[in-house]
Structure 1
């Protein structure tokens, strides 16, 4: 484990500047959402906000952290964030408001009250989550020692996560593009082993990023960041909300869920409705 620790004073200033940066991009997205009447643009801003924050931290940490570690963590987060935002933008082209946000905002009457509610519950909340989840990114950029074995293991875990996200998203996009699959459950490719390869991949990405600072004495102080992201994906606003909707809309969902792991990829369980072959009778 590295004995080097980040520069506390410079890191504190970094935290303030990055908070202002992520707030700025979310407020700009809020203005777009109000003008267009579609708040789903915040999903596109989500990945870009992480990439922006990593770049700001890289610029602020010049001369403070190890150049190789700074470049490494910035590139990993930027690649993940830009890919995710590009995918979500492409998927949402021409679509109406996301049903999640429509249901959330329907709780408040139209008018200024709904606008303020959207600002608090959608944009400011997501800005706070982005900033908190990215704390390991910011800390890694101020570590003066080069990456060690644990950090490189993090790069490997990040690579696994990005592959699960990108391949899972691509497989689902191709599945939905085929009219013959309308109303059917996606249970092919990675989706045969986990009901949410993209969410699993996202969790791996952020645990991998965390390992880039975990090889320092203060690194484990930031473990709550990947824990929060994993909780949101597996138990918060990710998997549970999506599965409630799919269970209500997709025939065959219960059977798919019964045989397929909910998060971590595992071999499919045998369908209990499938009869097993009778044991062979011994020859007389």
Structure 2
């Protein structure tokens, strides 16, 4: 087996940054034209798909073809499903309250402030989080146990996320549940099945990059960073802060696991489950 192609991978890092920035720049132009910056959330998943595709092209002749195809398809399926889901969910709505609050603090132009604090920041995160997607595709060794474990984690995560999103969409569309807190299906086992699904997806993609110590070491930041964002950053923590005052949410939080799935607790009197 040949050594890890560090020079080619270094070039890929630069092209991945350009790709993520290009997707964000195009999205910014569309957002300015439409007057709604919430569409940057659509670009999040699409950016990972774009980085995976560019890396697949550039890694030809350097990495194992089976792994390149596996990682590219896994990333693209996850990213494009997420982008399509967010696009459908936001259709017909105005600006997201999160971006309204953020941009209300703009010292000058709201658009310029949005580009600096939202689009560039998300582009940088895409580059950092996509490190296993890039590194795995330059691994010259054949598929092994890491790819199998990674594929199983990815599949479980995608299913958990997609089923959770579908259940929530049906719940919101039912006039009989209007104003209630979703506590059915996967949402009775965890308050954030979609975020937990993301968690599994990215640890799965990292496992695919763990066939060699080189790709494992260079991409270890990714699942740790994504886990932090999902649990302590813009995911669970921020959403629960927004939901805290909704009728019935405190009771729901008391009986339902905060992140990792667990059977609902019958007696929620001891406070929220973490």
Q: Which residue of 2 aligns with 1:281?
A: none
Which of 54, 66, 70 is residue 68 of structure 1 equivalent to? 66
Q: Does 216-225 or 165-174 show the bigger shift?
A: 216-225
**Structure-1 separation of matches of 2:4 and 2:24:** 28
RMSD: 1.4
Contact 2:254 2:269 in 1 (8 A): no
Tell me whether 1:226 sits opposite 2:191 in the alignment. no
Q: Superposition pairs for residues 20-169 of structure 1, below 5 Å?
A: 20-108=18-106, 112=109, 114-169=110-165
Structure 2-normalised TM-score?
0.95
Any gaps of 5 or more consecutive residues in structure 2?
none
Tell me whether 1:7 sits opposite 2:5 in the alignment. yes
Contact 2:251 2:268 in 1 (8 A): no
CA displacement, residues 186-217 of structure 1 (integer Å, 9 cap, x when unaligned):
00000000000000000100000000111202
**Structure-1 separation of matches of 2:162 and 2:202:** 15
CA displacement, residues 64-109 of structure 1 (integer Å, 9 cap, x when unaligned):
1100000000000000011000001011111000111111101125
**Structure-1 separation of matches of 2:21 and 2:196:** 27
- Report how many residues are paired: 269
Which of 233, 251, 258 is residue 255 of structure 1 equivalent to? 251
Give 1:5 deviation, angstroms: 4.5
Q: Does 30-39 or 186-195 show the bigger shift?
A: 30-39
> Computing the radius of gyration over CA atoms, which structure comes out larger, 1 or 2?
1
Secondary structure of 2:40 counterpart: helix
Give 1:115 deviation, angstroms: 1.8
**Structure-2 separation of matches of 1:24 and 1:153:** 33
Flag the 1:93–1:216 CA change in 2: closer, same or farther, 3 A. Answer: same
**Structure-1 separation of matches of 2:167 and 2:52:** 29
**Structure-2 separation of matches of 1:116 and 1:11:** 33
**Structure-2 separation of matches of 1:188 and 1:50:** 31
Give 1:51 deviation, angstroms: 0.2
**Structure-1 separation of matches of 2:133 and 2:17:** 13
Secondary structure of 1:270 counterpart: coil
Q: Which runs of 4+ in 1 moved over 4 A?
A: none
Structure 1-normalised TM-score?
0.92
